[in-house]
Structure 1
Amino acid sequence: MRYYRIQRDGTISLIAEDDDGAYNLTETEPEPASFMELADAASLTDQSVDDVARRHLDDAPSVDLETVSEHLIRPVDPDEVWGGGVTYAISQESREGEGGLEEAYIGAYEGDRPEVYFKGTPTRTVGPGDNIGIRGDSDWDVPEPEFTVILHDGNIVGYTVGNDVCSRDIERDNLLYLPQSKIYDKSCAIGPCVVTEETIGDPHDVEMTLTIERDGDVAFTESTSTSEMVRTCDELADYFRRYNYVPKSTALLTGTSIIPPDDFTLQEGDLVSIEIENVGTLQNPVEQL
């Protein structure tokens, strides 16, 4: 199933979509209002999230998908957002010729230990239709489309679309500046929904497309597949958990293999769309911070 959150007249509702339609689960007992509440129930009863949701479908009023799309908000409010880096060949290849930076990225790509880093908090993360931000002290800013894993108590329970916005010139100046290039206001977006394993199929074989529109024209577009990843979702989740405090809910971005050319940078007013097969499309306008 796909799980959305919508907000109408100040009320937040959890919507479940299956092959037959979309249903408002919040208008059933016990009024679940978030995907994580379903994950809590699934964990306690040793069931899947979809099994828990199906128990309520007969009593849930239907909702048309147009209404859902008009009132979307961020599908989950993760306690923390983390990222996995250099999980595709192009990520390390894009640093070729950059001296110490190239050596560091090749080491992360080929090494036994993956790059796993802290990305953000709910206050720095936006949802579908919200503005993503580009820093005022950066001249080279790009979106990074990423297949994103949703963790409940450190365990994988769903998948969504993520955008790991990055100020690449800050990172290129000095690798120690990487946190500043990655972590700032509106530097991450997730949505439009969370899907389960039943819906996604093989998470390591789904298509992903990035499209950037500027003034109504396509300024950049490219596609890839998660089959190109050299790490698995389980591997990244394992390293995230190691010797680490694991919050109730985490969004874990799994790296990018779509990088616009070096002469391209985001501008205010651009529209960034990331489509992932079996999940949906995350769209965000660009705002100059």
Structure 2
Amino acid sequence: MRYYQLGGSGESRLAVRTGDGLYDLTAASPDVGSYLDLVRTASITDTDTDAIVDGLLARAPSIDADAVEGDLDTPLRPGEVWAAGVTYRISEEARREESDMEEMYIDVYEADRPEVFFKATPNRIVGPDEAVGIRRDSTWDVPEPELGIVLYRGDIVGFTVGNDMSSRAIEGENPLYLPQAKVYDRCCSLGPCVRSAESIDDPQDLDMWMTIERDGEVMFDESTTTGEMVRSLDELVDCYVDHNAIPELSVLLTGTSLVPDETFTLREGDRIDIGIEGIGSMTNPVTTV
């Protein structure tokens, strides 16, 4: 099942998409107003989210899918977002291209310990159709489409689409500038929904794609698969949660294998479309922050 937060333009409510249509879960139970409400209920009853929803569908009114266009909100409000880097060969190659210290990225790609870093707080996250940011003090900026792992108290409960916006000029100048290259206003987008973990057979066998448009012209259009990831999801999650005080709800982005070449940089007004098989697609315009 796929869970959407509606109310970008009005009253907030949680909806679910099944094979039969789209349904308003909040109308069925006011206690389920958000994805966090749903996973808390599943935890209390020692079951999964889809099982909880199965019991609500009989009294959940259907929603016209066309009516929610433009009404999508960020599907969840995690306490924090972290991200993993150099998990695909192409991302290792891209990081080497931007840096004068390329050997460090080879070492991380082949090391036992993955690169896991802090990405965003709730106020830095945007949802579908909201603008992602490029830093005013950066000259080379790219989106990074990634599979996002949704965690409840450290356990995998779902997946979403993520965009780990990156200022490659800043990070390339010195790897110690990574926090400034990664963490800033509108640096991360999540959406369009959360797909329940139990409804995906293999999250490391999903097609992923990204297009970038500028003034109606396609500047980038490529696809890949999460099967190209050299780390397992459990490995990345373990690295994030071990020895760490994690929030109740969090997201871990898992790295990218779709990287525009070094001649491309985002501009204000560009449009980024990112999609992952079985989860959905998300559009974000670009603004300068």
What TM-score, normalized to structure 1?
0.97
Q: Which residue of 2 aligns with 1:103?
A: 103
Q: Is the 8 A contact 1:25 1:31 kept in 2?
A: no
Shift of 1:93: 1.5
Q: Is 1:150 matched with 2:144? A: no
Aligned counterpart, 2:55: 55
Measured against aligned partners, the alpha-carbon deviations of 1:33-66 in whole angstroms (never above 9, x if no partner) come to 1111111111111111100111100001100111
Distance 1:144 1:176 in 2: 20
Is 2:8–2:70's contact at 8 Å kept on the other side of the alignment?
Answer: no
Matched AA of 2:133: G
Taking the TM superposition and a 5 Å limit, the aligned residue runs for 1:262-273 are 262-273=262-273
TM-score when scaled to structure 2? 0.97
Aligned to 1:128: 128
For 2:12, the equivalent position in structure 1 comes to 12
SS class of match (2:13): strand
AA paired with 1:88? Y
Deviation string, structure 1 residues 83-116 (Cα, Å, up to 9, x no partner): 0111001111123466753111111110000001
Matched residue count: 289
Q: Which amino acid aligns with 2:6?
A: I
1:220 and 2:220 matched: yes
Looking at structure 1, the residues matched to 131 and 95 of structure 2 have their Cα atoms a distance apart, in angstroms, of 28
Q: Is the 8 A contact 2:85 2:114 kept in 1?
A: yes
Q: Are the equivalent residues in 2 in contact too, given 1:199–1:278 (CA < 8 A)?
A: no
Q: Is the 8 A contact 1:143 1:165 kept in 2?
A: yes
User: How many Å separate the matches in 2 of 1:231 and 1:6?
Assistant: 34
2:160 equivalent in structure 1: 160
Alignment-mate amino acid for residue 128 of structure 1: P
> What is aligned with 2:180?
180
For structure 2, list consecutive stretches of 5 or more residues without a partner in the other structure: none
Match for residue 259 of structure 1? 259
AA at the equivalent of 1:184: Y
* Contact 2:85/2:115, CA 8 A, preserved across alignment: yes
Give the match's secondary structure for 2:54.
helix
What SS class does the counterpart of residue 59 from structure 2 fall into? coil
TM-fit CA distance, 1:208: 0.3
Judged with a 3 Å threshold, the aligned counterparts in structure 2 of structure 1 residues 14 and 257 are, in CA distance, closer, same or farther, namely: same
Alpha-carbon displacement from aligned partner over 1:228-260 (angstroms, at most 9, x marks no partner): 001111111111111100100101100001110
The residue aligned with 1:41 is 41
The CA deviation at 1:69 is 2.6
Residue in structure 1 matched with residue 81 of structure 2 by the alignment: 81
By how many angstroms is 1:196 displaced?
A: 1.0
Q: 1:9 to 1:110 in 2, by over 3 A?
A: closer
Q: Distance in 1 between matches of 2:126 and 2:91?
A: 24
* CA-CA distance at 1:16 after TM superposition: 0.6
Kept in 1, the 8 Å contact 2:209–2:222? The answer is yes
Would the alpha carbon gap of residues 235 and 142 (structure 1) be closer, same or farther in structure 2, given more than 3 Å must change? same
Contact 1:200 1:279 in 2 (8 A): no
Once the two structures are TM-superposed, the CA of residue 4 in structure 1 deviates from its matched residue by 0.2
- Counterpart-to-counterpart distance in 2, 1:167 and 1:114: 21
